[in-house]
Chain A
Amino acid sequence: MSDIVLPPFDQNTLNESSAKFGALAPPVLLVDDSSTMREMLRTILELCGQAPNTIYEAGDGIDAIKCLKTTNLGLLLVDLHMPRMDGFQLIEWVSHQEEYRSLAIAIITAENCQKYAKRLIRYGIRSTIRKPFRPEQIRDVYRNLVTNYRLGVSR
């Protein structure tokens, strides 16, 4: 049995150049208390074509809300365990704000998200990535989120 892994993405989008793809992407907010993790995520998104000045960072939920209020964001990559205000509190807050309905959210966590599946679906979150991840996993989720965002697929 061969172990062939093909990216779960349609050929048309794959053929699109990274630069072109990133140019159409909305601003992204990375929410993680680890600066190393944020740096790695930033590098991956930049490789996907996301312009560096459209990538914002927050160390916890409180900083993330501050950034949400001052910046017109489209994508949120959120860690679950953070000090002060964790990922769950953040996405719960976001889910109650009408103006953030179109925000695309992905969870990146070391925990098994299966046990939180019901809770995450309630918040309309379908994208989860488990740490440790491969850079390509982030790329695939990022591309899916951007495509959905561009198509106007709401959470």
Chain B
Amino acid sequence: MNGDSQHFDVGNRNILIARRILWQHRLLIAAEAVGSSIPRTVYLNVGDGRCFIRTPNEEFEL
């Protein structure tokens, strides 16, 4: 099935659709972490609104 996902380019299409929906709702993107095949976990600190991304190799703030 791996070949299929490359064939249909699902990842890139998801990114494009997400950008289009945000623009349709008149939202500008403050930061993004997209593409490739690394697993990501998003943490949102509800106290101060800060957002972090954790991958197997690093953790960084958006």
Q: Which residues of A contact B (CB under 8 A)?
A: 1-7, 14, 43-44, 47-48, 134-136, 139
| List of A residues within 8 angstroms of B60 by Cβ | 4
| List of A residues within 8 angstroms of B26 by Cβ | 43, 47
Q: Would you call A14 and B19 a contact (CB within 8 A)?
A: no
28 contacts between A and B (CB under 8 A): A1-B36, A2-B33, A2-B35, A2-B36, A2-B38, A2-B55, A3-B33, A3-B34, A3-B36, A4-B32, A4-B33, A5-B31, A5-B33, A5-B34, A7-B30, A7-B31, A14-B30, A43-B26, A44-B28, A47-B26, A47-B28, A48-B28, A134-B19, A135-B23, A135-B28, A136-B28, A136-B29, A139-B28
Q: Which residues of B contact A (CB under 8 A)?
A: 19, 23, 26, 28-36, 38, 55, 60, 62
| List of B residues within 8 angstroms of A48 by Cβ | 28
| List of B residues within 8 angstroms of A5 by Cβ | 31-34
Closest B-chain residue to A11, C-beta based?
A: B61
Bound CA span A5–B32, Å:
6
| List of B residues within 8 angstroms of A139 by Cβ | 28
Bound CA span A43–B23, Å:
10
Q: Would you call B30 and A3 a contact (CB within 8 A)?
A: no
Bound CA span A136–B29, Å:
6
Bound CA span A46–B7, Å:
39
Bound CA span A134–B18, Å:
13
Chain A nearest CB from B21 CB (Å) reads 13
Chain A nearest CB from B44 CB (Å) reads 16
| List of B residues within 8 angstroms of A2 by Cβ | 33, 35-36, 38, 55
